[in-house]
Amino acid sequence: MRDGFSRIGFSIFAHAQQGVFGLALIAILSLPTASKAGVLSENDLQKVEALKPLFANLMIDLSQTAKRPDVAAADVNCINSTIQELLQISDELASYEYLIAMDRDIKDFGDKNPMRDLVKFAADKSSAILTSERKRLAQLSDQCARFPVASSKTQETLQVIDTTTTVLTSIRDRL
């Protein structure tokens, strides 16, 4: 049986933290968009912009699904675990936000822009974190495989992580 208070409490926590995950990861990926004089190309910026709705929609969907009364308690537990994993990813990625944010403040270096190495480093480390955390999410997906709603939600989460990793790797390889 579901504990309504715990579920509501977690739901409120998840909604409050939803912004943290979304902002941390999106900030890591998009802060250079504030600077056209940064090291990312217009194409890179467009790819990054395309990630924003993926994360926003994922977190909203997970949160709303966990609140639905027709979703089994076991599914809700797995979905909540997925949300927790995403929050963990957010915490780990937040440390690289500052490094990338510096790109908008340091401009006009021409071809020898030291920000290139800094953004490349941050993208590389962010990709490494996503790759590592993807393994944890894959294990969670295996554990939740017998719960149909949670299984589909963890698969969606893995797809978003894979898409983000691909974009970061692409950007890093061009720097």
Q: What's 116's DSSP letter?
A: H
pLDDT, tens digit, 9 for 90 and up, residues 23-57: 444 444 544 444 455 677 778 777 877 877 888 89
User: Residues 145, 139: contact at Cβ < 8 Å?
Assistant: no
Residue 21 in this model has a pLDDT that exceeds 70: no
| Residue 78's pLDDT band (cuts 50, 70, 90) | very high
Q: Which has more pLDDT, 102 or 27?
A: 102
Instruction: For residue 93, give both structure tokens.
Output: 């990625």
Grade residue 133 by pLDDT with cuts at 50, 70 and 90: very high
And the tokens for 160? 């978003």
Structure confidence at residue 147 (pLDDT): 96
Res 35: pLDDT: 43
Task: Tell me what the mean pLDDT of segment 95-117 comes to.
Answer: 64
**Which tokens go with 69?**
């009364």
Which residue type is seen at 55?
A: F
Residues with Cβ within 8 Å of 153's Cβ and at least 6 positions away in sequence, in order, are 61, 62, 65, 78, 79, 82
Q: Of the candidates 98, 175, 102, 172, which has an alpha carbon nearest to the alpha carbon of residue 130?
A: 172
This prediction has a pTM of 0.73
